[in-house]
């Protein structure tokens, strides 16, 4: 899992299924994300946890593999999924959804092909509750 040093891992529940993901819960970790990562190894992906809802977008600069990203509202409801390709020339496209999201999960490309539109992220457990309580 080269490129993921310094990231904690956590288990999250998405649509009732357990995922083991790297935790991007600080500005530095969120900014780095999966840049330079060629293989997520034994992990399912990465979860981006924001302290408050945002309309921010993601880009694929210095990212080596195609990724799917799912965006979730504060209550854990799925707002949308985007397929992202590595950026090979500036300006890099930016990927987002309409509305505000607080959680995003990146996985290797194709993993979310069958993700149900009514899938929910369980935000009633760590790391989500701990972050909200810290605010």
Q: Write the DSSP assignment of 100-111 as a string of letters.
A: -EEEEEEEETTG
**CA–CA gap between residue 129 and residue 127 (Å, rounded):** 6
pTM higher than the cut 0.85: yes
Q: Which whole number is the average pLDDT over 82-89?
A: 95
* pLDDT single digits (tens) 25-69: 999 999 999 999 999 999 999 999 998 999 999 999 999 999 999
Element (H, E) at 133: helix 128-134
Residue 133: per-residue pLDDT: 45
Q: Which whole number is the average pLDDT over 102-125?
A: 92
**CA–CA gap between residue 58 and residue 106 (Å, rounded):** 10
Which residue ranges form the domains of the chain, and what is each CATH number? Answer: 8-134 (2.60.120.1140)
CB atoms within 10 A of CB 90: 7
């Amino acid at each position: 899992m080269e490129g993921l040093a310094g990231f904690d891992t956590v288990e999250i529940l998405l649509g009732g299924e357990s995922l083991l993901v790297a935790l991007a819960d600080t500005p530095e970790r969120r900014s780095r994300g999966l840049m330079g990562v060629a293989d997520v190894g034994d992990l399912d992906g990465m979860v981006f946890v924001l302290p408050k809802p945002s309309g921010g977008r993601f880009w694929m600069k210095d990212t080596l593999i195609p990724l799917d990203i799912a965006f979730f509202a504060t209550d854990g409801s799925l707002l949308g999924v985007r397929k992202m390709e590595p950026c090979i020339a500036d300006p890099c496209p930016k990927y987002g959804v309409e509305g505000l999201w607080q959680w995003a999960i990146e996985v290797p490309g194709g993993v979310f092909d069958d993700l149900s539109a009514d899938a929910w992220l369980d935000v009633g457990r760590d790391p989500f509750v701990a972050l909200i309580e810290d605010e």
